[in-house]
Structure 1
Amino acid sequence: MRALTVTPSRAGTAEVRELPDPRPAEGELLVEGLAVGVCGTDREIVSGVYGWAPPGRDHLVLGHESLGRVRSAPEGGGFAVGDLVVGVVRRPDPEPCGACARGEFDMCRNGRYTERGIKQLDGYGSQLWTVEPGYAVRLDPRLEHVGVLMEPATIVAKAWEQIERIGARAWFAPERVLVTGAGPIGLLAALLGVQRGLEVHVLDRVTGGPKPEVVKALGAEYHTAGVAEVAGRVQPDVVIEATGVSGVVFEATAETASYGIVCLTGVSSAGRRISVDIGAANREIVLENDVVVGSVNANLRHYALAADALAGADLDWLERLITRRVPLERFAEALTARPDDIKVVLTLT
C-alpha cells in the first residue's frame, strides 16, 4: 500500500512510500482509507518542529483527520463491511491518569498519551489502516464526501460542551456568539452555534475568497473589522477563538458581555510579544464573572456529538468547506497553504 510518511524532527523528509499492507490484530477493523484532512499540525510535523515516530522506527505515517470504509470486521464488534468510519486520534496512557482511566483522555494529566499520526502511533494517511472497534466511529453514509471534517468537528463539539458546562455554574441563556477565525475550526464552531439557535458572528481578516459567502450561507454575519470594534458592538455572550493570533486572543477576552465565556481553540506561536494591561484584564474578568478556558483534542463522547452535528448539517454547505482535494501523490501541494483555502483534503483511493 501507499502511505504518506515523515521522519519527525527532520524537515524535508515527507514522502509517499510503499509499505506492507497492515494485518489487523484480533478484534481490529481493516479499513480502506478514503481521505485525510490536512491541518496546521501536519504542516508543523512536516517542517520538523513536532511529531514522534513509533518506538523503534524512524518514520511516522501522517494523517489524523481520517475517513475510511470498513473492508473487514470481526463478528460481534458492532461494525460491518462497507461502514463509513473515522478513527479516533488519541489513546490514553498505558498506566492511565485519573482522567484517562475515566475515558476523558483528551484531558490527560501526565502527557503519556499517544496520538495517531502525531505521537508514537502511525496515522491514517495510507490506503489501508487498522483500528480497534472502540476507537472507530461510524458515520451516516450520506457523509461520504464530507466525513473527513469529522475530526475538526470533534474539537468544536468539545469546545461547546465545555462552554455549556461552565455556563451551567449559574443561569445561562446565551444569545450571541462571536467566532474569531473562519478556518475549518471557526466555521464548524459557527455551525454548532447556529444549530443551537444562537445569533452567530464570524470575524476574519480576509475580504475575498469563499469565506464571506460560506458564513452568509450559514445564516451568520461576517465581519472584517478589529476584534475590539466588533465585539464591542456585538457584546457576545460567548467567544470562540480559532486563530491563535496573540493580539486577537487578548482582545477577544476584553469585550464580552457580563458573565461571558471565552474558549480558546487556536494555538499561538511562542516568541511573539504584545503589550497588555494585565491589571485591567484581571479587573474586568473578576468584576464581570468572566471565564477564559482552553480546549484541545476530543474523547469518544465528542466524536458522537460531532457525528450528530455533521449528520444534521446541510451537506452542500459542508462541501463548501473543502476547497481543494489533492491526490496523495501530490501531497506537497496540499501541504502548501493558499490564500483561499478553508480545508484541504488528500484523497487516498
Structure 2
Amino acid sequence: MRALSLVPQTPGTLDVTDVPDPTPRAGDLLVDGLAVGVCGTDKELAAGDYGWAPPGRDRLVLGHESLGRVREAPEGTAFAAGDLVVGVVRRPDPEPCGACAHGQFDMCRNGKYTERGIKQIDGYASEAWTVEADYAVKLDPRLEAVGMLMEPTTVVAKAWDQIERIGNRAWFEPKNVLVTGAGPIGLLGALLGAQRGLDVHVLDVVKDGPKPQLVKDLGGTYHNEPVDEVVEKLRPEIVVEATGVPQVIFGAMAATGTYGILCLTGISSIGRAIKIDAGALNRDIVLENDAIFGSVNANLHHYALAAQSLAKADVSWLERLVTRRVPLERFADAFQAQDDDVKVAITLDGSS
C-alpha cells in the first residue's frame, strides 16, 4: 500500500512510498485511512527539524491528525466495521513515569513517550493502518468530512480543561475570552469558547479571506488591530494564545483582567528577542493573581471532550475550516501555504 513517509531529520526525503500492508495484533482495529490533516509539526518534520523513525527502520510514516473507517474490529470492543475513528497520537513511556502510569501521558515527566507520526511509531498517513482499540476514539458519523480536525480539537479541549481547573481555584464565572491567532487551533479554541457561552474575540493579522466570517458565524468579534489596543479595550478574563509571536504573548500577559488566565498553545521560534518591562509584568501578575501556563498534546480524557465538542458543532462551519483537500499523490501541494488556508488535509481514499 501507499504511505507518506520520510527519513527523519533529513530534509527533502518526504515522498509517497510503498509499505507493507498492516497486520493487526490482538486487540487492534484494522482501519482504512480517509484523510490526515497537515499542521506546522508536519512541516517541521518535512524540513528535517526533528523526528525519529521506529527502531530498526530508516523511514517514518507521517501523519498524526488522523481519520479512518474501521474495516475490522476485535470482538468485545466498542467498535464495529464501518465506524468512523481517529487514533490517539501519544503513547505512555514504558517505565512508566508517574503521570503516564495515571493515564496522563500528555504530561510525561521523563520524555520517553512515543508518538504516532512523530517519534518512533508510524503515523496515520497511509491507505490503511492499525491502532489499539484502547487508543482509538469513535466519532459521530456526521463528521466524516471533517474528522481530521479531531486531533487539533484535543489540543484546545485540554487547554479549556486546564483553564477551568485553574479558574476554579476561586470563584470563577468568566464572561469573555480573547483568542490570539485564527489558524485551526485558534478557531477551534474560539468554537469551544462559544460553546461555553462566552463573549468570544479573535485577533489575527489577516483582514480578508474566510477567517473573519468564520469568527462572526460563531457569534464572535474579529480584530486585526495591534494586540496592545485590543487587550486594553477588552481586559480579557481568559486568553488562549495560538500564534507563538512574542509581541502578542507579552502584550496579552500585560493586560488581562484581574484573576486573568493566559494559556499558551503557540510555539515560538528560538532567538527572537524583544524588550519588555519585566518588573511591571511581574507586579501585575502577582497583584492580580494572574495565571500563565503552557499546554500541548492531549490524553484520552481530552480526546473524549473533543469528540463531544465536535459532535455539538455546526458541521457546515467545521467544513469551512478545511479549506483545501489534496490527494495523496499531490502531497507536496499540501505543504505549500496559500493565502486563504485554514486547515489543509491530504485524502487517502482517492477522493479530493
Q: Under a length normalisation based on structure 2, what TM-score does the superposition of the two structures give?
A: 0.99
**Paired residue for 1:237?**
237
**Paired residue for 1:85?**
85
Residue deviations 1:124-147, cap 9 Å, x none? 000000000000000000110011
**Paired residue for 1:276?**
276
CA distance in 2, matches of 1:111, 1:338: 35
CA distance in 2, matches of 1:16, 1:239: 40
**Paired residue for 2:257?**
257
| Per-residue deviation, 1:247 | 1.1
**Paired residue for 1:133?**
133
CA distance in 1, matches of 2:244, 2:334: 21
Task: Give the letter aligned to residue 336 of structure 2.
Answer: T
CA distance in 1, matches of 2:70, 2:50: 30
CA distance in 1, matches of 2:27, 2:188: 33
CA distance in 2, matches of 1:40, 1:332: 14
| Per-residue deviation, 1:21 | 0.4
Aligned length: 349
**Paired residue for 2:340?**
340
**Paired residue for 1:116?**
116
Could you tell me which runs of 5 or more consecutive residues in structure 1 were left unpaired when the two chains were aligned: none
CA distance in 2, matches of 1:171, 1:26: 48
| Per-residue deviation, 1:276 | 1.1
CA distance in 2, matches of 1:305, 1:175: 21
CA distance in 2, matches of 1:338, 1:45: 19
Task: Give the letter aligned to residue 259 of structure 1.
Answer: Y
**Paired residue for 1:99?**
99
CA distance in 2, matches of 1:138, 1:203: 33
CA distance in 2, matches of 1:335, 1:207: 23
| Per-residue deviation, 1:337 | 1.3
| Per-residue deviation, 1:249 | 1.0
Question: Secondary structure of 2:110's partner?
Answer: coil
CA distance in 2, matches of 1:245, 1:326: 29
| Per-residue deviation, 1:274 | 0.8
Question: Secondary structure of 1:34's partner?
Answer: strand
Question: Secondary structure of 1:255's partner?
Answer: coil
CA distance in 1, matches of 2:56, 2:250: 42
**Paired residue for 2:65?**
65
CA distance in 2, matches of 1:184, 1:90: 20
| Per-residue deviation, 1:228 | 1.1
Question: Secondary structure of 2:53's partner?
Answer: coil
| Per-residue deviation, 1:122 | 0.2
| Per-residue deviation, 1:205 | 0.2
Task: Give the letter aligned to residue 119 of structure 1.
Answer: K
CA distance in 2, matches of 1:73, 1:182: 38
**Paired residue for 2:325?**
325
Task: Give the letter aligned to residue 251 of structure 1.
Answer: G
CA distance in 2, matches of 1:6, 1:276: 41
**Paired residue for 2:305?**
305
CA distance in 1, matches of 2:240, 2:294: 10
Residue deviations 1:211-253, cap 9 Å, x none? 1111111110000001111011011100000001111111111
| Per-residue deviation, 1:309 | 0.2
Task: Give the letter aligned to residue 326 of structure 1.
Answer: V
What are the equivalent positions in structure 2 for 1:22-61 lying under 5 Å apart?
A: 22-61=22-61
Task: Give the letter aligned to residue 8 of structure 2.
Answer: P
CA distance in 2, matches of 1:86, 1:326: 19
CA distance in 2, matches of 1:97, 1:281: 35
Question: Secondary structure of 1:68's partner?
Answer: strand
| Per-residue deviation, 1:163 | 0.2
**Paired residue for 1:183?**
183
Please state if 1:174 is matched with 2:190. Answer: no
CA distance in 1, matches of 2:81, 2:54: 29
Question: Secondary structure of 1:24's partner?
Answer: coil
Please state if 1:315 is matched with 2:315. Answer: yes
Question: Secondary structure of 2:325's partner?
Answer: strand
| Per-residue deviation, 1:286 | 0.3
Question: Secondary structure of 1:324's partner?
Answer: strand
CA distance in 1, matches of 2:223, 2:206: 9
Question: Secondary structure of 1:134's partner?
Answer: helix
| Per-residue deviation, 1:154 | 0.3
CA distance in 2, matches of 1:228, 1:56: 51
CA distance in 2, matches of 1:60, 1:312: 35
Residue deviations 1:268-292, cap 9 Å, x none? 0101111111111100000100000
| Per-residue deviation, 1:267 | 0.5
Residue deviations 1:125-174, cap 9 Å, x none? 00000000000000000110011100000000000000000001000000
CA distance in 2, matches of 1:198, 1:338: 31
| Percent of aligned positions that are identical | 70
Could you tell me which runs of 5 or more consecutive residues in structure 2 were left unpaired when the two chains were aligned: none
Runs of 4 or more above 6 Å deviation: none
**Paired residue for 1:267?**
267
CA distance in 1, matches of 2:337, 2:39: 9
CA distance in 1, matches of 2:170, 2:151: 31
